């Protein structure tokens, strides 16, 4: 039997509405470290998106290094795969640690010649599968098919062949773990939308390995079980990273896996409080009675206003009562008016664009094509950063 902790999507270095979320994320990660020590778990699996940007900030790296080093010094094995947010040379950033300990493994590419990591010391084998981004994969496993939405469909079909070919490379007598940062067709995002082939490369549900002991997944921020026959879980993001996750429980999985059976437990952590509240203007001052911890929360306010309400007064009152309100929107109770609206602030351009297109009378396929083009532009910008 092998015991391990599975987490994903830390997004260290995330800037959100002008707030550096790194301290919140590190506070959450420290709870994981404490649990590992408590359980004396010999293995930590991180399924991608360790950092939020392709080139992590010095502060994020400096804060994370000591925590990983401490785990390694305690004899804990740490195995990571890179995600779509991570730098594909992330292993180079950790190269100093890797020189002094055999316990650290970081996979930024699929290794066709040696696709299975055997950890004899703790009795398990791991199939690492970093995010399948073009330029990040070795060899000819995934071929470039051109810059069209259909390309991802073709790449996704190639996932099947690659994964099915790995079945003969594992030792069936030892617990095996598929560690991947990838979307699964039909899985739920935090916004309750379904991931589809039009959005990005995904694994079809039928192609998720059924011959492994456990499938440790990252990329989707909502913790969820995606297959019960073979235990397969997204651990979700370790912290609440957006208001769309304000009501989600956050945490990680503790797993005891053997070929005789696998026990999985979701361990909840104390994530930062977020509130997404709709309120009448004249009730603003009463929110503290309904939400006693509101002063410690990240806050999104939707304020219902009448035609006679002053936007200047609204801003003043919100500043007075709730200086930590990061997003402010107004809802007009009348049908038409020349009075201006406080524009919402979005955490990312994709969300803003989704809101915009949802209000337009556009065909679904055209919307999907627009979203695909936008994500391509964002990807190119991030690569240049």
Q: 359 or 209: whose pLDDT is higher? A: 209
Q: Residue 307: which residues within 8 A CB-CB, separation 6 or more?
A: 332, 333, 334, 337, 339
User: Residue 8 above 90 pLDDT?
Assistant: yes
- What pLDDT, on a 0 to 100 scale, did the predictor assign at position 197? 44
- What pLDDT, on a 0 to 100 scale, did the predictor assign at position 155? 60
Of 62, 51, 56, 4, the residue nearest 25 (C-alpha): 51
In angstroms, how far is CA 250 from the centroid of its own chain?
Answer: 11
Between the CA of residue 67 and those of 27, 76, 120, 317, what are the distances in Å?
A: 11, 12, 24, 42
Residue 151's pLDDT band (cuts 50, 70, 90): low
Q: What is the mean pLDDT of residues 158-173?
A: 85
pTM value is: 0.81
User: Residue 330 above 80 pLDDT?
Assistant: yes
Q: 180 or 331: whose pLDDT is higher? A: 180
- The whole-chain average pLDDT of the chain stands at 83
Q: Residue 340: which residues within 8 A CB-CB, separation 6 or more?
A: 311
- What pLDDT, on a 0 to 100 scale, did the predictor assign at position 336? 45
Cα gap 252→182, rounded to integer Å? 17
Q: What is the mean pLDDT of residues 263-267?
A: 97
Residue count (the chain): 385
pLDDT digits over 281-327, tens only? 888 888 989 999 998 999 999 888 887 777 788 888 888 888 888 88
Residue carrying the six token digits 């959005």 = 199
User: Residue 331 above 60 pLDDT?
Assistant: yes
- Work out the end-to-end distance of the chain between its first and last CA atoms, rounded to an integer number of angstroms: 44
User: Residue 127 above 80 pLDDT?
Assistant: yes
Cα gap 363→351, rounded to integer Å? 18
- Asked if 371 contacts 357 with a C-beta cutoff of 8 angstroms, the reply is yes
């Amino acid at each position: 039997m092998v015991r391990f902790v599975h987490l994903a999507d830390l997004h260290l270095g995330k800037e959100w509405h002008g707030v550096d979320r790194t301290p919140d994320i590190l506070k959450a990660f420290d709870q994981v470290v404490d649990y590992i020590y408590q359980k004396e778990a010999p293995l930590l699996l991180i399924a991608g998106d360790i950092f939020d940007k392709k080139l992590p900030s010095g502060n994020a790296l400096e804060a994370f290094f000591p925590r990983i080093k401490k785990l390694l010094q305690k004899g804990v094995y740490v195995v990571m795969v890179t995600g779509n947010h991570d730098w594909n040379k992330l292993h180079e950033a950790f190269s100093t640690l890797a020189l002094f300990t055999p316990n650290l493994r970081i996979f930024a590419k699929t290794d066709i010649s040696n696709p299975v990591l055997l950890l004899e010391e703790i009795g398990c084998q791991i199939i690492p599968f970093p995010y399948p981004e073009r330029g990040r994969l070795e060899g000819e496993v995934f071929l470039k098919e051109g810059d069209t939405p259909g390309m991802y469909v073709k790449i996704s079909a190639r996932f099947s062949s690659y994964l099915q070919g790995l079945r003969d490379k594992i030792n069936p007598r030892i617990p095996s773990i598929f560690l991947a940062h990838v979307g699964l067709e039909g899985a739920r995002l935090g916004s309750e939308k379904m991931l589809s082939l039009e959005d990005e490369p995904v694994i079809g549900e039928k192609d998720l390995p059924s011959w492994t002991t456990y499938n440790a997944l990252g990329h989707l921020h909502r913790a969820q079980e995606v297959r019960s026959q073979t235990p397969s879980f997204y651990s979700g993001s370790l912290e609440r990273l957006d208001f769309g996750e304000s009501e989600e429980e956050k945490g990680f999985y503790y797993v005891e896996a053997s070929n005789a059976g696998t026990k999985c437990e979701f361990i909840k952590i104390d994530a930062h409080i977020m509130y997404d509240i709709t309120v009448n203007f004249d009730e603003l001052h009463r929110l503290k009675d309904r939400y006693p911890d509101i002063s410690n929360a990240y806050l999104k306010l939707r304020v219902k206003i009448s035609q006679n309400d002053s936007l200047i007064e609204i801003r003043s009152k919100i500043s007075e009562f709730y200086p930590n309100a990061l997003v402010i929107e107004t809802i007009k109770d009348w049908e038409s008016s020349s009075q201006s609206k406080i524009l919402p602030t979005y955490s990312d351009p994709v969300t803003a664009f989704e809101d915009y297109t949802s209000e337009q009378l556009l065909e679904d396929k055209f919307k999907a094509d627009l979203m695909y083009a936008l994500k391509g532009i964002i990807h190119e910008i991030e690569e240049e950063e």
